[in-house]
Amino acid sequence: MCVTCGCGNSKLPFRQRAPMHLPEIALTVPGRDAHTIQLETQILGKNKMVAERNRRWLSGRGILALNLVSSPGAGKTTLLERTLTDLKSDVAISVVEGDQATSNDAERIRATGVSAVQINTGTGCHLEADMLERALEQLKPAADSLLLIENVGNLVCPALFDLGERAKVVIFSVTEGEDKPLKYPNMFAAADVLLLSKTDLLPHVRFDTERAVSNALAVNPRLTVFPISVYDGAGLEQWYGWLKHELADCRRLNPARAQPSAAR
């Protein structure tokens, strides 16, 4: 169960379940009773504890971990494929793929030559910190590398669950409507970067870019916004530049680099 929609099924194995640890209850919105609030607090509290453990592990190795979130079909996997193809010769990269079912996306990532772990959540609608912790044990990302986490396509629940990432990156396509940030404010408020994707389709859709970006910034003035197109390459250099800047900062903060004698 997640605190937003009550998803989850504890009878499914790890690779096909959401981590349901507490009994299901009916959630009432907006008035939650005391028992509901207690359960929410326990679920998010445990997740936060594991997320902080993940964050310490990642930062201690200079790994830039990014949580990519979006609606289904916004272009996360296609963006990953292009990003990996363009940067893998310069940067060590690994990927965690989150979907309710299939290993299709992980197979697409591996076809680029980059290591990927697939997490299937079954009825679950988001990744949680303990899922990432187990994926890291299997993936073993290199120090000073880039870790890209593709979350389940959903603009609701992933906003609540910190995985231990350095930043959330929300992908918002021009086919979705300018008011998407206003409809799903929690996700846009939780994000650090907005990638406005599929800009090559602008001549063919009714979409007001200025209004969409204005709506997003009204929800979260701190957002860094990059309009991009995977197909014609528009805006990708700015996206890659941001990635390289953040990765350099993570490497600079890597304790092993601060103590070269200990690293040897």
What does the pLDDT look like over 189-235, one tens digit per residue?
999 999 999 999 999 999 999 999 999 999 999 999 999 999 999 99
Q: Is pLDDT of 8 > 70?
A: no
185 assigned to some structural domain: yes
pLDDT confidence bin for 179, thresholds 50/70/90: very high
- Mean residue pLDDT across the chain: 87
CATH at 190: 3.40.50.300
4 assigned to some structural domain: no
Give strand pairing partners of 117.
Answer: 96
Q: What is the pLDDT of residue 242?
A: 98
8 assigned to some structural domain: no
Q: Which residue has the higher pLDDT, 35 or 168?
A: 168
How long, in residues, is the chain?
264
9 assigned to some structural domain: no
- Count of the separate structural domains present in the chain: 1
Choose the weakest-confidence range: 12-21, 95-104, 126-135: 12-21
Compute how many other C-beta atoms are within 10 angstroms of the C-beta atom of residue 199: 21
Query: Which domain does 142 fall in, by range?
Result: 32-263
252 assigned to some structural domain: yes
Q: Which residue has the higher pLDDT, 41 or 141?
A: 141
Q: What is the pTM of this model?
A: 0.85
Q: For residue 229, give both structure tokens.
A: 């197109």
Q: Is pLDDT of 25 > 90?
A: no
11 assigned to some structural domain: no
Residues of the chain above pLDDT 70, percent: 82
Q: What is the pLDDT of residue 253?
A: 84
Where residue 177 falls (left for φ over 0; alpha for ψ -120 to 50; beta otherwise) is left
Q: What is the pLDDT of residue 70?
A: 98
pLDDT confidence bin for 259, thresholds 50/70/90: low
pLDDT tens-digit readout, 112-127: 999 999 999 998 999 9
Q: Is pLDDT of 16 > 50?
A: no
110/93 Cα distance (integer angstroms): 11
Closest CA to 96 of 168, 164, 151, 50: 151
142 assigned to some structural domain: yes
26 assigned to some structural domain: no
pLDDT confidence bin for 27, thresholds 50/70/90: very low
pLDDT tens-digit readout, 81-97: 999 999 999 999 999 99
| Helix, strand, coil fractions of the chain, as percent rounded to 5 | 45, 15, 40
Give me the long-range contacts of 106-111 (CB less than 8 A, separation at least 24).
Answer: 108/77, 108/81, 109/77, 109/80, 109/81, 109/84
